[in-house]
Amino acid sequence: MYEHIVVFKLNANVTTAKQQELLNQLLAFRGQIPGVVDLSAGINVTDETDNIHGYTLGLRVTFQDLESLRSYGPHPLHQTFVQSLDGIVENVVVVDYPKI
């Protein structure tokens, strides 16, 4: 299995409603993208965020194998989500690793 961890730093002007819309898109990956074993996503609620370093949204996906992880990127649902970030994301951090 492989873990896919992503954190998104959205522009400060992104509304709470838009954040929720993005979260709903991520949660919709469950059962729709082959090879997804588990998925967790949420809006950051930590008190440690600030306007300089804070990330808005987090995603963790467990894939059954490396092939599933690699097939995820070009999947139409994933591509639709990526396109919805156009102009509203400041930074994205992605980490993929084998689950031990």
Task: List, for residues 2-25, the tens digit of each pLDDT value.
Answer: 999 999 999 888 999 999 999 999
Q: Which pLDDT value is given to residue 55? A: 87
Nearest of 61, 59, 63 to residue 42 by alpha carbon: 59
Nearest of 17, 100, 3 to residue 60 by alpha carbon: 3
**CA 86/CA 13 separation, integer angstroms:** 14
Q: Which pLDDT value is given to residue 67? A: 95
CA distance to 25, 28, 87, 98, per residue, from 91 (Å):
18, 22, 11, 24
Q: Considering the entire predicted model, what is its pTM?
A: 0.88
Q: Please report which confidence band the pLDDT of residue 49 belongs to, taking 50, 70 and 90 as the band edges.
A: low
Q: Residue 83: what are its φ and ψ, rounded to 5°?
A: -65, -30
Report, as an integer, the average pLDDT of 65-84: 94
Q: Please report which confidence band the pLDDT of residue 92 belongs to, taking 50, 70 and 90 as the band edges.
A: very high
**CA 54/CA 82 separation, integer angstroms:** 20
